[in-house]
């Protein structure tokens, strides 16, 4: 079920099956969800600093979007390709927030789950995203609608990459399975309405535009970046 290596959909789909030989401070995501917030706090601070964002919630949103994209990718990819995906119990999925994007994950488990909408929802949305959102709420002020918008955008991003990959390799059945699974996942009340239209454009904003030089994401709800109120103002005469 390995999605890494040559010809793989991309780095977001790679899931390490063994612990890194050197470096890193990977710990089970279950510990973060249980209240061990230090690594998440450090990750948010690191992302905010890298972006030069004056608002910490910008770093929190972008950090969340990256991890959500990884969680959807490493499950939707195998589900569409093989009909099963790694179970990803939070106690068996290790993460090191100090490493660069895409977030480095290694999986210590071996169980797999059948590729159904209900199984994917239980494995990703319920087991990871719900407690991850709670952890981010402990971090500070960030709207639930923004977090679920990120989750919907991350899911659609994984779908787009899988579709591109499948078409380039003459595998239309993979694209069709991925689309059917993503459509079912987006029907849930938490994710419903987070994207819209034939282009699956998101209906909320991840706040990236509020970072200096951030601009808009490809699926942003805005056509033009709003004024943030953070721009430099000329001095009074």
Question: Residue written as tokens 């890193």?
Answer: 24
* Inside any domain, residue 74: yes
Mean pLDDT, rounded, for 186-213: 89
* Inside any domain, residue 4: no
* Inside any domain, residue 231: no
Total domain count, the chain: 1
CA angle 114, 75, 195 (to 5 degrees): 110
* Inside any domain, residue 232: no
Q: How far is residue 4's CA from residue 89's CA, in Å, rounded to a whole number?
A: 20
From the list 175, 174, 132, the residue with the least C-alpha distance to 151 is 132
Identify the domain containing residue 90 by its residue range: 11-16+27-210
From the list 41, 40, 14, 45, the residue with the least C-alpha distance to 29 is 40
Q: How far is residue 110's CA from residue 87's CA, in Å, rounded to a whole number?
A: 8
Question: What is the pLDDT, as a whole number, of residue 236?
Answer: 30
| pLDDT per position as a tens digit, 137-169 | 988 788 999 999 999 999 999 999 999 999 999
% pLDDT > 70, the chain = 90
Contact of 77 with 221, CB cutoff 8 Å:
no
Measured N-to-C along each axis, helices 172-185 and 144-168 cross at an angle, to the nearest 10 degrees, of 170
CA angle 90, 94, 97 (to 5 degrees): 115
| pLDDT per position as a tens digit, 64-76 | 999 999 999 999 9
| pLDDT per position as a tens digit, 76-133 | 999 999 999 999 999 999 998 887 767 789 999 999 999 999 999 999 999 999 999 9
* Inside any domain, residue 58: yes
Question: Residue written as tokens 């995906």?
Answer: 85
C-alpha to C-alpha distances, 236 to 110, 159, 212, 229, 233, nearest whole angstrom: 65, 51, 23, 17, 9
Mean pLDDT, rounded, for 13-31: 84
From the list 233, 172, 162, 167, the residue with the least C-alpha distance to 13 is 162
pLDDT at 61 over 80: yes
* Inside any domain, residue 167: yes
* pTM given for the model: 0.89
Report which of residues 186 and 236 the model is more confident about.
186
* Inside any domain, residue 223: no
Question: What is the pLDDT, as a whole number, of residue 231?
Answer: 44
From the list 34, 50, 20, the residue with the least C-alpha distance to 132 is 34
C-alpha to C-alpha distances, 183 to 174, 176, 216, nearest whole angstrom: 14, 11, 25
pLDDT at 232 over 50: no
Q: State in Å, rounded, how far the first CA of the chain is from the last one.
A: 66
* Inside any domain, residue 87: yes
């Amino acid at each position: 079920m390995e999605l890494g290596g040559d010809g793989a959909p991309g780095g977001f789909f790679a899931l390490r099956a063994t612990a890194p030989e050197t470096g890193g401070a990977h710990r089970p995501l279950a510990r973060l969800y249980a209240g061990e917030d230090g690594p998440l706090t450090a990750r948010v601070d690191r992302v905010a600093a890298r972006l030069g964002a004056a608002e910490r919630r910008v770093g929190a949103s972008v950090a969340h979007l990256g991890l959500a994209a990884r969680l959807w990718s490493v499950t939707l990819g195998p589900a569409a390709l093989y009909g099963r995906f790694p179970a990803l119990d939070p106690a068996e999925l290790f993460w090191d927030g100090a490493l660069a994007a895409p977030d480095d994950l290694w999986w210590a488990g071996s169980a797999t789950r059948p590729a159904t909408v209900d199984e994917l929802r239980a494995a990703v949305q319920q087991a990871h995203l719900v407690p991850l959102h709670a952890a981010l709420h402990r971090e500070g002020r960030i709207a639930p609608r923004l977090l679920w918008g990120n989750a919907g955008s991350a899911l659609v991003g994984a779908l787009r990459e899988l579709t591109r990959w499948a078409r380039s390799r003459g595998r239309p059945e993979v694209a069709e399975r991925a689309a059917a699974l993503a459509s079912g996942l987006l029907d849930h009340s938490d994710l419903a309405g987070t994207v819209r239209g034939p282009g699956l454009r998101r209906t909320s904003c991840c706040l990236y535009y509020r970072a200096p030089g951030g601009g808009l994401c490809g699926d942003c709800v805005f056509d033009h970046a709003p004024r943030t109120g953070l721009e430099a103002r000329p001095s009074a005469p």
